């Protein structure tokens, strides 16, 4: 059974081939192409311009949330078996959303039944940044924006943080397509970022080592 509010699908408006280049196995069904990362399926629709994440599907949510597109699923009835990706990536750690108004977007997410699990602020007033964390099943939705509203606009799906089972092998596999490995903000974890602009990928992608168990 799929957990309540599980992120099951991410729909991207871009070509899948650059993702294959960075080490993901591609599944093709009736000319539709997709990637399975953990419990979440990435579905691709190639268009003239690279636009990144167009919409997502989360179990139990049937309408948009503060203009963020939460569309009905396009998942087929056939089951895709999770496969080993040569880049060693095994799951999605978090989906990053940016917003000009943290209070407004947070209120909309909570009203949609998405659980707020924590808030962090950093920087100096009046230019503080706020990070709010919500659970989408086994994926974290990280909402990022100014602590105090400064501009009008709409929230956007911005990027993905992925988890590798062996971050050093991931970096070796990607070579010049990623940045040098460094320590992440979270203690005990390491991180690299994919050079998505060079690859014509419309989503910012970070790759991290697994979570470290508290002792």
Average pLDDT by stretches of 10, the chain with 215 residues: 76 94 92 91 85 92 92 61 85 96 96 93 87 95 92 92 97 97 91 96 96 68
3-state secondary structure the chain: CCCCCCEEEEEEECCCHHHHHCCCCCEEECCEEEEEECCEEEEECCCCCCCEEEEEEECCCCCCECCECECCCCCCCCCCCCCCCCCCEEEEEEEEEECCCHHHHHHHHHHCCCEEEEEEEECCCCCCEEEEEEEECCEEEEEEEECCCCCCCCCEEEEEEEEECCHHHHHHHHHHHECCCEECCCCCCEEEEECHHHHCCCCEEEEECCCCCCC
Q: What is the pLDDT of residue 24?
A: 96
Domains in the chain, start-ordered, CATH in brackets?
89-208 (3.10.180.10)
Q: What is the pLDDT of residue 165?
A: 95
**Gap between the Cα atoms of 163 and 89, Å rounded:** 6
Q: What is the pLDDT of residue 1?
A: 42
3-state secondary structure 123-136: CCCCCCEEEEEEEE
Contact of 136 with 7, CB cutoff 8 Å: yes
- pTM of the complete model: 0.90
Contact of 210 with 188, CB cutoff 8 Å: no
Q: What is the pLDDT of residue 77?
A: 46
């Amino acid at each position: 059974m799929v957990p309540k509010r599980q992120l099951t699908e991410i729909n991207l408006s871009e070509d899948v081939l650059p993702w294959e280049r960075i080490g993901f196995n591609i599944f093709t069904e009736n000319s539709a192409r997709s990637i399975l990362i953990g419990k979440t399926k990435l579905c691709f629709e190639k268009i003239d311009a690279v636009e990144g994440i167009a919409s997502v599907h989360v179990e139990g949510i049937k309408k948009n949330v503060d203009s963020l597109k939460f569309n009905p699923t396009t998942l087929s009835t056939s089951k895709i078996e999770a496969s080993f990706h040569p880049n060693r990536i095994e799951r999605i750690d978090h989906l990053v959303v940016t917003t000009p108004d943290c209070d407004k977007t947070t209120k909309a997410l909570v009203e949609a039944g998405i659980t707020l699990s924590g808030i962090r602020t950093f920087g100096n007033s009046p230019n503080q940044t706020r990070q709010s964390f919500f659970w989408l099943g086994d994926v974290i939705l990280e909402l990022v924006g100014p602590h105090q509203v400064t501009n009008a606009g709409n929230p956007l799906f911005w990027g993905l943080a992925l988890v590798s089972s062996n971050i050093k092998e991931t970096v070796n596999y990607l070579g010049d397509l990623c940045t040098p490995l460094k320590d992440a903000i979270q203690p005990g974890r390491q991180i690299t970022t994919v050079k998505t602009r060079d690859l014509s990928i419309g989503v910012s992608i970070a790759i991290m080592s697994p979570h470290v168990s508290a002792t």
